[in-house]
Every structure is written in C-alpha cells, then in structure tokens.
Amino acid sequence: MLLGDKLTPLLDGMPFFHKPPLMYWIDMAAMSVFGVNGFALRMAPAVGAWVMGAGLYLALRRWRGEAAARLALGVLATSPFFFLGGQYANHDMLVAGCITAAILLFVRATEAPSPRQRRSAK
C-alpha cells in the first residue's frame, strides 16, 4: 500500500477504511472529469440513487409489466428522502443502491425458470 496510490482512502495521511472506498473512487473519477466542485462530490450518491432506481424499474418491469415499473420509479424518484439522499454527499445512498442491486440480483438468480426457459434448456 503506497500513500497516494489512489486506491487507499486517507484521513490526515493515515489509511481510512471505516467507510466503503467506492464512494471515494467515484468522487475522484468525477473530480478528474468535472473538476473539484459540489457537482463532482455528489456523483457517488447520484450513482447509488440511479442504481437503486434502475434496479427497481428492471425488476418490476419483469415481474409486473412496464406500467407498474414506470409508476414505481416515479413514486421513488419523487419521494422527498430519496430525492434529497441522492444529492447529499455521504455514503448512505451509494450503500443503499448497492444493497438494493444485490438483493434484486439474488432474487433474480433464485427465481424458478419460466416454462419457456425450461423448454430452451432441453
């Protein structure tokens, strides 16, 4: 581990692993593209909110159809805490988005195959 290696988060020069480093990595990438400003520092929570919304939409579109998926995404996007959480520069929204994606992917992996999938597997 080298100091300043861009993979190890530092706090006052000491390695800081109390929080997941993905937020720091996303913010560093955003700052290299957009410069050091408030927009770049809020990129990680925005990515987490986007992952959560995309996961919800894709899962509901598969299970309930396009109309239900759009309605649920609209309700989620206009919820005040979700809307504010996607703009507040902390780890919470990114962690929530990753957890949502993990749960939805787990459910997708454990779903019983449809009759069409079973026929194509034979």
- Whether residue 97 is contained in a domain is answered as yes
- Whether residue 72 is contained in a domain is answered as yes
- Whether residue 23 is contained in a domain is answered as no
- Whether residue 36 is contained in a domain is answered as no
- pLDDT of 121: 62
**Banded model confidence at residue 117, pLDDT cuts 50, 70, 90:** low
pLDDT digits (tens, 9 = 90+) for 10-57: 888 888 888 788 888 898 899 999 999 999 989 999 999 999 999 999
pTM, full prediction: 0.80
Give the span between the Cα atoms of 120 and 104, in whole angstroms: 24
- pLDDT of 11: 80
- pLDDT of 4: 55
Amino acid at residue number 17: F
Quote the domain boundaries for residue 91.
Answer: 42-110
- Whether residue 11 is contained in a domain is answered as no
Give the span between the Cα atoms of 106 and 75, in whole angstroms: 24
Give the span between the Cα atoms of 63 and 59, in whole angstroms: 6
- Whether residue 115 is contained in a domain is answered as no
Number of domains in the chain: 1
- Whether residue 81 is contained in a domain is answered as yes
- Whether residue 66 is contained in a domain is answered as yes
Mean pLDDT of the chain: 88
